[in-house]
Amino acid sequence: MPETEKKPGNKNEKVGSVVSAKMAKTIVVEVTRRVAHPVYQRIVNKRKKFYAHDEKGEAQVGDVVRIIECRPLSKLKRWQLKEVVRKAVQVTTDLSALGIEKPERRAPSKKKGARGQTPGAR
């Protein structure tokens, strides 16, 4: 008897952007779709968030990703990351990489209260 090969099946796939990657091995993906309003027939955007399993932690906030449905992994997780379609542009706050030094922090000034009095001296 020949070896049985698993067929991939018809699993649902969705493409959306990552809105949160703060959890361990979990990302939140927001999928936007454009549909006609049932009464007014105007095109409206509908958004839905999906919790997806990211085993390697490769997706970051702002990335466009493709997720595929899988067995339930937790109360809300029923999807897993298939691929990162497009990486987000990462903005750095490290000014030393650009050759710019951070300005020194000044000590906070002591502000006086109303009518020149110190706060709490009324």
Residue 82, domain member (yes or no): yes
Closest CA to 60 of 13, 15, 22, 14: 22
Residue 85, domain member (yes or no): yes
Residue 49, domain member (yes or no): yes
Residue 5, domain member (yes or no): no
pTM here is: 0.68
CATH number at residue 29: 2.40.50.140
Residue 88, domain member (yes or no): yes
Alpha-carbon distances, residue 62 vs 46, 91, 117, 119 (angstroms): 18, 11, 50, 45
Tens-place pLDDT, residues 28-85: 999 999 999 999 999 999 999 999 999 999 999 999 999 999 999 999 999 999 999 9
Print the domain residue range for 87: 13-92
Residue 114, domain member (yes or no): no
Residue 81, domain member (yes or no): yes
Number of domains comprising the chain: 1
